[in-house]
Every structure is written in structure tokens, then in C-alpha cells.
Structure 1
Amino acid sequence: MIRKRQNICLLLMEQKKDYLFNGCVCVFHTASPVTFSVDDPKVQLIDPAVKGTLSVLKSAAKVQSLKRVVLTSSMAAVVIRSGQPEHGFVMDETWFSDPSVCEQKELWYHLSKTLAEDAAVKFAKDNGLDLVAINPGFVIGPILQPTLNLTSEAIMGLIKNGKEVFSDGIYRLVDVRDVATAHILAFENPEANGRYCMVGEVVRSLEIMKTMNKLYPSFGQSERYKDSECVEPLPYSVSRAKVESLGVNFTPMEVSIKDTVESLKKKNLLSF
């Protein structure tokens, strides 16, 4: 019965979507499943991401008033490739994840976002749509909802228990408010084009925990990190040049971490 109701709901949305877009000058397509653990990647991640994106674009293409579609993609559609350049390279918008490598490594979320962005770009080109993609990294900052989403749950796990989200301990951090600003600027700026990497800082988890210790010295979990040092340089950085030219001013990492923690505490999701 639940599945049947969901199908009816989706059908009604599909039928009404064209009318919902009437008179719109911009469509922001932000919805896509976000999970790193699935039983059926095609059903749970890939199909919803790709088919959902194309469904929105097909409706958008019918609207004469529409000036632009802003697509929320991901750095997951940027970073996964076979082989890497020399240590210290700079990633930018010319980087694209390789679907075969994503599949080989069973990085299903990365594959879903890569295929969805590829499909969107091709559809937009074939149908004369003005498409701009925003590619955020690991999003932190204050949350609006009363429950945890994947990234807020992951960052809470890191600061509470030192549980790594990524095996290499490297995080491409960006503040959620900066991501929202980038979407607005991508619509408002007529010169916006292509895709934009949204990463404020590339840091190791050690730096996150040292910042935690500085902001919250009584926090027991971060105490062991205060005198630690990481002498190994980061293997790469992400260029901010293109998105800064759009008008984005990145929130400092320390501010983002503090606002993340205060938001989690306010919603009784984190206490210490």
C-alpha cells in the first residue's frame, strides 16, 4: 500500500510539474538521494538521480519564460579518476569523475551524481537550455531540519567519536550558506556558465578536531588532538577562482564548525 501511494504521488507530481513551472524564470534542481550505503545502487541511487534530473529538465524545456536551470551537482562528480597528477595539484571545473572508476570502486553515490550531471549537460545542449551546475564538497554549517541528514550526522560522528567519513581523512569542506549563495548568484549573474566547484577549504580531520579543541576546550574528544601536528602536505587543493569570480565569499572554516556545533546543540542533537 505504501509503495502504491508513493507511485500515485509521483504520477500526480509528474502530471502537474509542467504547470508548476509556468511563468518561472529559473528552476533550481537540488533533490537527489544522498547515501553511501545501498543494497541496490541502480534502484536506490542511480535511477532516481538520473531519471529525476531528466524529468525536471524535460518539464523546464517546455517553459518559454525560463531563463536558466541551476543544478545541484557535487564534487563527487569531479574527483574520481584513474591515476592522479603530481602531489600538490589543483582541481578545478575541468575535472570530471570517470563513471567506470566509480563503478570499479563501488562509489555508487559518486556514480549517480556523475551520470546525473552528464545527462543534464547533454539534455541542456540538445534542447537549448541554459544550465549551470554547482558542485559542493562536504557541506557543513547550521541545519534547518530537526533531524540529522547524512553530512550533519557524519560531522557529528567525527567530532564526537573521531569516526572518519573518508578513509583518507581528507575533507573538502564548504558552508551550506555559501552553497545557497552560489545557487542564487548562478541565477542572477548572466555571465554564469558551466559548472562551479564549491569548496572553501581542503583539510584533514586533524585540523577539524584541532579547531574543535580551540573553540570548545572542554570537549573531551578533541583534547587528544590539541598538540598533534600533521607534517604531510595535502595531496591536492580545489581552485576557488571561478566561483569567487561569481561573487562567492567563503565562510571561514572556524566559523562554519562553530555554527555547526551550536546548531546541533540547539536542536538537542549534540551535548557536552
Structure 2
Amino acid sequence: MMEPAVTGTRNVMTAAAEAKVRRVVLTSSIGAVYMDPNRSPDVVVDESCWSDLEFCKNTKNLYCYGKTVAEQGAWDLAKKKGVDLVVVNPMMVIGPLLQPTVNASIMHILKYLKGAVKTYANAVQGYVHVRDMALAHIVVFETPSASGRYICYERMLHRGEVVEILSKFFPEYPIPTK
């Protein structure tokens, strides 16, 4: 996970600088934002927040670690090479897949459908449709005043709401009820 995220982002930023593109819109992840056990529960998680790399490493959360390192590297390269960078940090992306393989967001849903978990967490998660996320990329690209990072989600749902929705659409699947 780490190598493609970091190397791929570095390669794109370098190519963009060499081609003198107008603006780069990078897709990062909420994983580069929220993983910080030292953040007070009273602090609102927003675009200024970063995941704690040591925490990600210690908990073996290589997805969040890789996304954080890749995005921080993109910001460093953008500054050094004078690239206008804007970052979209989507939460859980749902909707049609372009690739034939399952991604991390879809795995989140599949674990409930496959019966891989017997209970759901007492937690909330933000969700965004892939088409809305694509539109967010277009908007920040076309808006000259856009800058920095943008957390992208359409709705926050409690995991209980998610399994309730899944149960309605897929009543034959072993979806947890508690």
C-alpha cells in the first residue's frame, strides 16, 4: 500500500511540475486526516488535521499511513516546485466501481454482507457517492480561489443505519443486528 501511494503521488507531482500544469487536484483520503489518538474529543476534525504517523505505524494501519505520507509528500513537492495543489479527502466512497477489484470502501460494506462480522461498531462514518466525489474534483479544479484540503462527504451515518439499509436491500444476507 505504501509504495504505490507514495511513489505514484511523487511521480504525478513531478510530471505536473515539468509540464507546467495549471493546477493539480489530488485525491487523498480521510485516512490522512483523522487517525490521531492524541486529539481531544472536543476538537472538530477538519481539513487542518493530520493523522499521526507513529500511531498509524504502531497500529499497523498502513492505508492511513501511506495516504498521510503520500499527501504530505505532495504538499512538500508542490511548495518546492511551485505547483498549485488542491487536495480532496473523501470519506467512505460508495457507488459503481471502475476497476474489477474491491477497494477499501467497498470492503467496509462487504464485511456486513458476507457475515464476516457478527456485530457493528457504535460509530458514525461519512459516505460520499463516487459521482459526487468526481464533481468535487471538478469544482475545486475550476474554482480559482479553491486552495488547501477539502473533506468530501455527503452524509454521516451511524453503523446501525448502514446495516439497516443493507438489511432492507439484502434481507437474505447475514447482516448483523446488534
* TM-score normalised over the length of structure 2: 0.85
Unaligned runs of 5+ in 1: 1-44, 229-272
Q: Compared with structure 1, are the counterparts of its residues 160 and 186 closer, same or farther at alpha carbon in structure 2 (3 Å cutoff)?
A: same
Q: Are the counterparts in 1 of residues 10 and 74 from structure 2 also a CA contact under 8 Å? A: yes
Number of aligned residue pairs: 178
Deviation at 1:52, TM superposition (A): 1.8
Q: Are the counterparts in 2 of residues 77 and 114 from structure 1 also a CA contact under 8 Å? A: yes
Q: Compared with structure 1, are the counterparts of its residues 47 and 173 closer, same or farther at alpha carbon in structure 2 (3 Å cutoff)?
A: same
Structure 1 runs, 4 residues or longer, greater than 3 Å off: 144-150, 166-170, 220-225
**Aligned equivalents of 2:111 and 2:129: distance in 1?**
18
Deviations 1:167-202 (A, max 9, x none): 665433221111111111111111110010012233
Deviation at 1:117, TM superposition (A): 0.4
Which of the pair has more CA radius of gyration? 1
Picking from 96, 103, 112, the partner of 2:57 is 103
**Aligned equivalents of 1:202 and 1:137: distance in 2?**
10
Q: Does 1:61 align with 2:25?
A: no
Q: Which amino acid aligns with 2:26?
A: L
Q: Does 1:138 align with 2:74?
A: no
Q: Compared with structure 1, are the counterparts of its residues 135 and 106 closer, same or farther at alpha carbon in structure 2 (3 Å cutoff)?
A: same
Picking from 168, 174, 179, the partner of 2:133 is 179
Deviation at 1:58, TM superposition (A): 1.1
3-state SS of paired residue (2:25): strand
Deviation at 1:86, TM superposition (A): 3.2
Residue matched to 1:128: 82
3-state SS of paired residue (1:173): strand
Unaligned runs of 5+ in 2: none
Report matched runs for 1:40-59 at 5 Å: 45-59=1-15
Picking from 219, 222, 237, the partner of 2:171 is 219
Deviations 1:1-39 (A, max 9, x none): xxxxxxxxxxxxxxxxxxxxxxxxxxxxxxxxxxxxxxx
Q: Are the counterparts in 2 of residues 209 and 222 from structure 1 also a CA contact under 8 Å? A: no
Q: Are the counterparts in 2 of residues 136 and 197 from structure 1 also a CA contact under 8 Å? A: yes
Cα RMSD (Å): 2.7
Residue matched to 2:149: 195
Residue matched to 2:32: 77
Q: Which has the higher contact order (CA 8 A, sep 6+)?
A: 2
Q: Compared with structure 1, are the counterparts of its residues 126 and 147 closer, same or farther at alpha carbon in structure 2 (3 Å cutoff)?
A: closer
**Aligned equivalents of 2:80 and 2:175: distance in 1?**
55
Q: Are the counterparts in 2 of residues 140 and 155 from structure 1 also a CA contact under 8 Å? A: no
Deviation at 1:160, TM superposition (A): 4.3
**Aligned equivalents of 2:65 and 2:18: distance in 1?**
28
Q: Are the counterparts in 2 of residues 68 and 130 from structure 1 also a CA contact under 8 Å? A: yes
Structure 1 window deviating more from structure 2 (66-75 vs 169-178): it is 169-178
Q: Which amino acid aligns with 2:109?
A: I
Q: Are the counterparts in 2 of residues 57 and 120 from structure 1 also a CA contact under 8 Å? A: yes
Q: Which amino acid aligns with 1:71?
A: L
Residue matched to 2:105: 151
